[in-house]
Structure 1
Amino acid sequence: MSQRTQHPIAQIVGTYARPYASRFSAGIFLQLLARIPQRVPALVIGVAVDALLIGSAAYTLPLVPDAWIPTGQTAQFWFTVGLLALAVSLRGGLDWLSALLTFGATVDTIHDVRIATYDAVLGLEMGYFDDTGSGSVMSVLNNDVNNLRNLSGALTRAIMFGGQVVVAYAFMLLLNWQLALAVGLFPVVLAGGGRIYSRLLEQRYTRVREQVGSVNDRLGDAIDGISTVKAFTKEAHESRRLAAHSREYLKANWSTVRLRVGFDGFSWSLSNLTHAGLLLFGGFWVLNGPPLFFTRELTAGTLFTFLMYTKSFLAPVRAMSTDVIDAYENGHASAKRVYDTLTETRTVDADDGPDIAVTDGHVAYEDVTFSYTGDGETISGVSFDARPGELVGVVGSTGAGKSTLLKLLFRFYDPDSGTIRIDGRAIQSHSIRSVRDAIGFVSQDPFLFDGTVRENVAYAEPGADHERIVRAAKLAGAHEFITDLDAGYDTEVGERGVLLSGGQRQRIAIARAILHDPDILVFDEATSHVDNETEIRIKESFDSLAADHTTFVIAHRLSTVRDADRILVLDDGELVEEGTHEGLLDRDGIYADLWRVQVGEFDAVSESFVADGGARESGREVGR
């Protein structure tokens, strides 16, 4: 589990926004500064109403020397117009520059968070991906990282609205501090309600972000398996499954909406009651003099200014209590998921030891045991010795542990007990990066990246020249069909290599594995999804490579490893037989029965194999 924190926002901001602190600070300062000219128009209009329209007071402005103010009414009118134009222009310029600085810094910060989160995901051990759906991972990398913009926007708006409130209230205190104190009760009441609202909203948004990941998991499965969906005409079934997940998202989202609408109504009612109350109370004050314990005089112009300030005062207070809190809690829920990914402890240090020096490719397993969950052993006490240059076949029934056995060689997982050695050196004591660099790998479902044939062959060594790429392709039996493609090695393969056939993808994957000439090669069911002709070509590739590499071939089709120097037979995670094809047939054990099944001699299969096979299938734990 990852290290949890109560302050993921502070951690993310402190780490990733700090390099842009100067831009954030300058933007915030300019934004606060812009709030002063924003409040000038209401003040100037209120003074102009009393001095120019009603004539009940002299034309005076707080903090402005009387000598700066013209004396005639016409001059004072144009002075008022000039102040309004200056205030509007100054506010617009300051807000524009502030937005330029803060938005630019936000984009840079989000970029850094996305790259750091992606790097963190790439550094996680395979067990994390076994337990976490790809849709959930993508939801964090895409939706949640992007959603941090809401958090940035909420913080920016909170500062802006806070500045508006402070400046407006300061002007209100200058005009009539007694009335200002009365108006100040509104934000106190709303802040108390906002605190309760924030606590309730946080729980709901956490649930919403989790449901986004669940929906993405469902979408990813259906799109990745679209050919299977269509082949079985299961479009309606998949639609129902997505609808079920989407319904849970809808419920979580609707719970948030109901809460927000309820609090929005409360804050709207309180805001309008405050504004109406100020009009009634202030009007009475203007007409009848100071009421109750109040002592200051109140003019119509001052009341007008107060009404304008109160509206601009109440709106940001209400916005902070609804929109800002809503955006903040939404972003906070995403920040927690991003931070949990960044601090996930199931990481792999690719440089967790000295580099391993591989010279011969001698592989030895010594009493190796491993389980995925700890409940049942997937690999149990396996020992064998593969000498340099040997072609080693690994066979067994489905779920016998064939793939898992060689995943341990890559250190995708480490054994629970026992030791794996390459050239006599325990791989657990050497860096993962150097161990994997010594091994080439081709999976049963080879993954090609969207790009050209050349880019995929040279994936492990992007700087490889054309001659090396062609040599690897020839060894993999791929050069002939590549040159027949429209653009040859520069042909686009499409997403996941969809524009190529299964056999073509397989041979490009083989070329990719052997490009950097590793000492050890692993082929995991490399012929399981290809036709007989392609199987023959791939088998020829195995034979040509075996002389110079220690080669492991996990095979479902036993014909693929018939000529192997050594064949390992796994059954329920145990190494039960070992030898050559002919020797294992003479032994008349599990391998011999597997061979009879594949060549169609079903009547010759032993009864014990059939009985044990049923027991194995019903009682086997996870064996990959």
Structure 2
Amino acid sequence: MSESSDFQVPNNIGNPLQHLIDQYTRSYTLRYGIAAIGMFFAQVPQRVPALVVGVALDAILFAETPYTLPFVPNSLIPIATEPQIQFTVGLLVAAYLLDTGLNWAAGRVSGTARYWTLHDIRVDTFDALVTHHLRFFDNRQTGDVMSVLNNDVSNLAQFSENVFRGISFLSQLLVAFGLMLTLQSQLAVLLLLMPIMLALLSRWYTTRVEPIYEEVRKSVGLVNARLEDSINGIATVKSFAREDDERAAVEAASKEYRDRKWSAIRLRLTFDLSSWTISSFAFIGLFAIGSYMALNGAPALLGDSLTAGALLTFLLYTKSFYQPVRQLMLEVLDSYENALASSKRIVAILESDRLDPAAGHDLQVNAGHVEYDTVSFSYAGADEQTLSGVDFTVEPGSLVGIVGPTGAGKSTIMKLLFRFYDPDDGTIRIDGTDICDVSQRSLREHLGYVSQDPFLFYGTIRENIAYGVDDTDQTAIEEVATLAGAHEFVTQLGAGYSTQVGERGGDLSGGQRQRIAIARALLRDPPILILDEATSHIDNETERQIQRSIDALAGDRTIFVIAHRLSTVRNADQIIVVEDGRIIECGTHESLLDDSGTYADLWRVQVGKTDSVSDTFLDTTVGNRSGFDGETEEVFR
């Protein structure tokens, strides 16, 4: 398995996480604002019980101080003891109800804002993926790309949740500290040493954990890619009895993820222990100082003394003071580093160069005239050109066969017609229009394609045939299925056209999948149709049936047929012979046989006349049987 390629963030993007926040939270600014305000004010009633209990303890039980509360007029507070107890209980109940209501409302508003934002990011990232040039996917495995849509977006979800928890923590800290100032300002200020120490500790933590999370995200992609390969290729794995090797490969990828993740966890545990130690000793120190002040009075530097009730309230607030600081540093910063690593991969997809399928004017196909004008092309990273100086013209309504050994460049010629890739040199025209000047979407609306190994979506046969066309009826589906040789076997299935094909069409044979794919292409009624080894997995009788359909369709549309079986293209108006990325012969079946070139030798081999094959063909072609189809190779065994 190849290593997963890095996702590079464009240089003009600073902090990728901040970039995503700026781009995707604007539509929900009001909701985020309401949620933040609600969470802040919810901390006020949460802090009321500790304050009320402390005051009631001193005023009612110890009778040391009068019953007074900050921000509450004395005229509203009862004088007698029992009414004061009832008043205290009423305040506690009201604080609970207000706290519950504010938190529920804030949570509801923040939840909709967060998950709508994440929905937008996921959909836009998927849209960016499907509009990328195919070169983007050449060196990236499916599992690695899937990890961006699943794991990385999920990390953003976790971070967004922790952001609101951070707002809650920060609000709790501010409200608690403000009330502590009203109780004993000097002692409250003294406690500021704790968040300063925690801030320094968090700085140390974040500088070390960020690169570790970068490696964790890469290793997640590798694990997903390895699992994707093993599961998708399970039939091959079993047929070669390589279960143990696949297990070893998955184990190695998982071990790499485990080790990198454990490095982050070890660092987090160190931070957790250190922050807990600072917080615990701050609480112990506060208790010692507060107790001394309650018993002996406050030293001059610490101002007023504390009552027992005030000390209890102060200690309760201290817990709600240092716990948010510790949680803020641990949970929010930890998820921030993880989200930052994920956002780099998401932004790399969103902001990297990609093609707009709607860019350019619409292509108008009136006839189906196709022209390749000295086209050359090479795949990224390839040492040699895949195509070199490809030059041919196809008249409207023609049936064109493209033949040649495997790897000669036959399929690549057609991929350029679809603009899956653009030529390095030369021009491809349809009805005189350079296809690079038109939108990809309009171009592909005029093209039909059937590959050697067609992909079927999970669903019914009817849904797969109708995939490329909206609002089609059953009659049209059955007509194209008949043309493709699929109607007979479909009607013999238990559920007919409602039969589920299974994942990737796994419940059907290779030949059945190809016939459905041909029907799917025909339903679009494209003026230009490409069949790329589309009859390679079907029997001779079905091939003859499809061949008759192709011959019948040829007058109405331009058809390209890439074939190893030369019988498939025998009746073609033009046969193009490709070898090593070049066109070496071109003509009809009869004219190419008369020329006694490569095509003639291939034909003699396939019809069993091996004694008539030229010596040159035997020397240059038979020596490399990897370029043969199975039928041709069998002749030489």
2:563–2:569 contact (8 Å) kept in structure 1: yes
Aligned pairs for 1:127-166 within 5 A: 127-166=135-174
Q: 1:520 corresponds to which residue?
A: 528
> Which has the larger displacement, 253-262 or 423-432?
423-432
Q: 2:474 corresponds to which residue?
A: 466
2:32–2:113 contact (8 Å) kept in structure 1: yes
List runs of 5+ in structure 2 lacking aligned partners: 1-7, 628-637
Aligned pairs for 1:80-229 within 5 A: 80-229=88-237
- Aligned with 1:350 (options 316, 333, 357): 357
Q: Determine helix, strand or coil for the equivalent of 1:319.
A: helix
In the alignment, the residues of structure 2 paired with residue 598 and residue 241 of structure 1 have an alpha-carbon distance, to the nearest angstrom, of: 42
**Cα offsets for 1:569-620 (capped at 9, x unmatched):** 111101111122233233232223333443455565444335434898999x
Q: 1:277 corresponds to which residue?
A: 285
Q: Determine helix, strand or coil for the equivalent of 2:417.
A: coil
1:572–1:616 contact (8 Å) kept in structure 2: no
* TM-score normalised by length of structure 2: 0.93
- Aligned with 2:416 (options 408, 416, 421): 408
**Cα offsets for 1:301-350 (capped at 9, x unmatched):** 111111111111111100011111112222222222112211121x1222
Q: Is 1:551 the equivalent of 2:574?
A: no
Q: 2:274 corresponds to which residue?
A: 266
1:20–1:105 contact (8 Å) kept in structure 2: yes
Shift of 1:284: 1.5
Identity of aligned residues (%): 52
In the alignment, the residues of structure 1 paired with residue 308 and residue 620 of structure 2 have an alpha-carbon distance, to the nearest angstrom, of: 98
In the alignment, the residues of structure 1 paired with residue 303 and residue 554 of structure 2 have an alpha-carbon distance, to the nearest angstrom, of: 101
Corresponding letter in the other structure for 2:569? V
Aligned pairs for 1:605-624 within 5 A: 605-613=613-621
Q: 2:585 corresponds to which residue?
A: 577
In the alignment, the residues of structure 1 paired with residue 196 and residue 506 of structure 2 have an alpha-carbon distance, to the nearest angstrom, of: 62
Q: Determine helix, strand or coil for the equivalent of 2:302.
A: coil
Corresponding letter in the other structure for 1:501? S
Give the CA RMSD over aligned residues: 1.9
2:387–2:409 contact (8 Å) kept in structure 1: yes
Corresponding letter in the other structure for 2:379? Y
- Aligned with 1:26 (options 34, 58, 82): 34
In the alignment, the residues of structure 1 paired with residue 77 and residue 221 of structure 2 have an alpha-carbon distance, to the nearest angstrom, of: 63
In the alignment, the residues of structure 2 paired with residue 103 and residue 112 of structure 1 have an alpha-carbon distance, to the nearest angstrom, of: 14
In the alignment, the residues of structure 1 paired with residue 136 and residue 615 of structure 2 have an alpha-carbon distance, to the nearest angstrom, of: 41
In the alignment, the residues of structure 1 paired with residue 266 and residue 572 of structure 2 have an alpha-carbon distance, to the nearest angstrom, of: 67
1:475–1:545 contact (8 Å) kept in structure 2: no
In the alignment, the residues of structure 2 paired with residue 540 and residue 454 of structure 1 have an alpha-carbon distance, to the nearest angstrom, of: 23
In the alignment, the residues of structure 2 paired with residue 67 and residue 139 of structure 1 have an alpha-carbon distance, to the nearest angstrom, of: 63
Corresponding letter in the other structure for 1:358? V
> Which has the larger displacement, 208-217 or 283-292?
283-292
Q: Determine helix, strand or coil for the equivalent of 1:435.
A: helix
2:448–2:522 contact (8 Å) kept in structure 1: yes
> Which has the larger displacement, 29-38 or 189-198?
189-198
> Which has the larger displacement, 557-566 or 268-277?
557-566
In the alignment, the residues of structure 2 paired with residue 249 and residue 329 of structure 1 have an alpha-carbon distance, to the nearest angstrom, of: 17
Q: Determine helix, strand or coil for the equivalent of 2:301.
A: coil
Shift of 1:445: 0.6
Corresponding letter in the other structure for 1:352? A
Q: Is 1:478 the equivalent of 2:479?
A: no
Q: 1:332 corresponds to which residue?
A: 340
In the alignment, the residues of structure 1 paired with residue 616 and residue 319 of structure 2 have an alpha-carbon distance, to the nearest angstrom, of: 87
Q: 1:373 corresponds to which residue?
A: 380
1:150–1:328 contact (8 Å) kept in structure 2: no
> How many residues are treated as equivalent by the alignment?
618
Q: Determine helix, strand or coil for the equivalent of 1:408.
A: helix
In the alignment, the residues of structure 2 paired with residue 431 and residue 616 of structure 1 have an alpha-carbon distance, to the nearest angstrom, of: 41
Corresponding letter in the other structure for 1:488? G
- Aligned with 1:319 (options 319, 324, 327): 327
List runs of 5+ in structure 1 lacking aligned partners: 620-624
In the alignment, the residues of structure 2 paired with residue 617 and residue 582 of structure 1 have an alpha-carbon distance, to the nearest angstrom, of: 26
In the alignment, the residues of structure 1 paired with residue 611 and residue 40 of structure 2 have an alpha-carbon distance, to the nearest angstrom, of: 88
- Extract structure 1 runs of 4+ deviating beyond 6 A: 614-619
Shift of 1:188: 0.9
Q: Determine helix, strand or coil for the equivalent of 1:337.
A: helix
Corresponding letter in the other structure for 1:469? I
- Aligned with 1:491 (options 496, 499, 505): 499
